[in-house]
Structure 1
Amino acid sequence: METLQMADLKLTWLRGGVTHLDGGAMFGVVPKPLWSRKYPSNDNNQIELRTDPILIQWGNKNILIESGLGNGKLSEKQKRNYGATEESNVDADLETLGLSAADIDYILMTHLHFDHACGLTKHEKGVYISAFPNAKIIASQVEWDEMRNPNIRSKNTYWQENWEAIQDQVVTFEGEWTLGPIRMVHTGGHSDGHSILVLEAEDQMFIHMADIMPTHAHQNVLWVLAFDDYPMDSIAAKQKWMKIGLENNAWFFFYHDTIYRAVKWDQEGKSIIDSLEREN
């Protein structure tokens, strides 16, 4: 498991599963000859996307960013459609660290699409129950509202089995939510309720832009997903937070990237000057 230390925060990437989605959809209007130089695709034009929760250990708190694909949540048809070749190993990874799902205090959900939220619940004795029974689950109010009342487009990714069993654990916010050095900021863009994470301690900054920059190859502010509900909001948020991050020598870290866990660019954003690569 890959780790990064930031002052008194330790970040550890857990194995939450793997999907393979169409590269054209993941890079929107960007021509394949451009994006394929930065991120590989398979013979079906699909790119590998991890769904790996990030464990933050801060003081006596255990905090997850996202929840992974879970286990047994996808049908065989869904596995084929989403190119899901691996399900979650989060419980096993937590056990390796001397923890269990019951030890998780918070789960920070940047948004609640299935590939982020499937791990929130699990199937047991014919019903869905919370996979992290003691955790407070944090999401923007806008996102939580749409999760429970999806529209004709979003109902394909906001699933009742991912929210019904955990609704009493959910804590919502408007604008921003903070816990010590951790800040969630509602940006919209990828979804109306999408949020990012900003970690600041001892003059260090880490930024997790979630699905408005799902991989390092999406650094260009104009390279947004065809899946984005509000692409101009994605562009505006990426412009703002890329500028802030580059000016503060920030690490940018990822949930989906199959190559890098985190990268640091130079102040012009032209070259990667430091990185944490994913171990195979």
Structure 2
Amino acid sequence: MKIGPYDVVPIETGRFALDGGAMFGIVPWALWSRSMKPDERQRIDLAARCLLLRGNGRIILIDDGNGTKLTPKQRDIYKLNDGEVNLESSLASHGVTLRDVTDVILTHLHFDHAGGSTKSENGKIVPTFPNARYYVQKDHWNLALNPGEKDRGSFMMDDYFPLKDYGVLELVDGEGEIFPGIDLILCHGHTSSQQLPKISDGTSTLLFCCDLFPTIHHVAYPYIMAYDLRPLVTIEEKKKILPRAFEERWILALEHDPEVEAIRVAPAEKGFVVTEKLRIT
């Protein structure tokens, strides 16, 4: 997919699974299990789908998946499957090496979004992309240094703290343009200062939805993850973004849907519905 100067492609980093009840919050099992079948441990399969942008002399990665540092126990808990399809192999399929990446925009620092930012090498935790700068919202960084009881399990310090030690961390303060044609929209329902990259050339627009709309099923207003710190804020953020996405015909890229890469939406009797399922090619 071409948007302005950027070639945009999805990067599959492997599959994992989370508790279905946690992914759908107050929505009853009888409803969500029709669409996403849980396994014997009530987990649903999810993608960890990132975006690669090439253009303007830059190679930009948006999020980087679970990474390679999870313990065997954690890999079992999260049903991590990254043997054949993983971050490095997916980049290589597009002719990109770890050293080629110039910039990494981290929507937030939960382990399934930022775990690939660092790796273990000769007994040390080092940046996965040695020539890249990593972009994180300042307010979110401060939260990640001292998370609360509700979200502490979503943060793994080795994923991001070494970025500061190696001098490759860039703290961003608020919304606005981060690169030509790439703007950041902040959302605070899922976590403080989650940054959603919006790529636009005035004709085509793609919004990387990260955990505002993790799957196609989360377009509905009440379908909100139990992981969200501020679920009522999430609803208001959906009500703000979905009308604009319809009016301006945005493509909404989905990070965690195991089957659908992107969608378009339209208003319905209750909120919004998906009208198109798209591939980002």
Deviates more, 1:87-96 or 1:206-215: 87-96
Match of 1:80 in 2: 76
Q: For the residues of structure 1 that align with 2:161 and 2:210, how far apart are their CA atoms?
A: 24
1:219 to 2:219 alignment: yes
Could you say what secondary structure the match of 1:115 adopts? helix
1:193 to 2:193 alignment: yes
Could you say what secondary structure the match of 1:103 adopts? coil
Alignment of 1:161-180 (within 5 A): 161-167=158-164, 168-178=167-177, 179-180=179-180
1:272 to 2:275 alignment: yes
Question: Which amino acid in the other structure matches residue 260 of structure 2?
Answer: Y
Q: Would the aligned equivalents of 2:188 and 2:234 in 1 still touch at CA under 8 Å? A: yes
Q: Would the aligned equivalents of 1:64 and 1:107 in 2 still touch at CA under 8 Å? A: yes
1:96 to 2:99 alignment: no
Deviations 1:194-223 (A, max 9, x none): 121222113211112210110111001221
Could you say what secondary structure the match of 1:190 adopts? coil
1:122 to 2:103 alignment: no
1:135 to 2:138 alignment: no
Identity over the aligned pairs, expressed in percent? 26
Deviates more, 1:62-71 or 1:83-92: 83-92
Could you say what secondary structure the match of 1:233 adopts? helix
Cα deviation, residue 127, structure 1 = 0.7
| Ranges in structure 2 where 5+ consecutive residues have no aligned partner | none
Cα deviation, residue 17, structure 1 = 2.1
| Ranges in structure 1 where 5+ consecutive residues have no aligned partner | none
Q: For the residues of structure 2 that align with 1:10 and 1:43, how far apart are their CA atoms?
A: 40
1:27 to 2:30 alignment: no
Corresponding pairs, count: 274
Deviates more, 1:6-15 or 1:241-250: 6-15
1:240 to 2:240 alignment: yes
Cα deviation, residue 277, structure 1 = 8.2
Cα deviation, residue 51, structure 1 = 1.1
Question: Which amino acid in the other structure matches residue 80 of structure 2?
Answer: A
Question: Which amino acid in the other structure matches residue 275 of structure 2?
Answer: I
1:45 to 2:45 alignment: no
Q: Would the aligned equivalents of 2:4 and 2:200 in 1 still touch at CA under 8 Å? A: no
Deviates more, 1:42-51 or 1:86-95: 86-95
* TM-score normalised by length of structure 2: 0.90
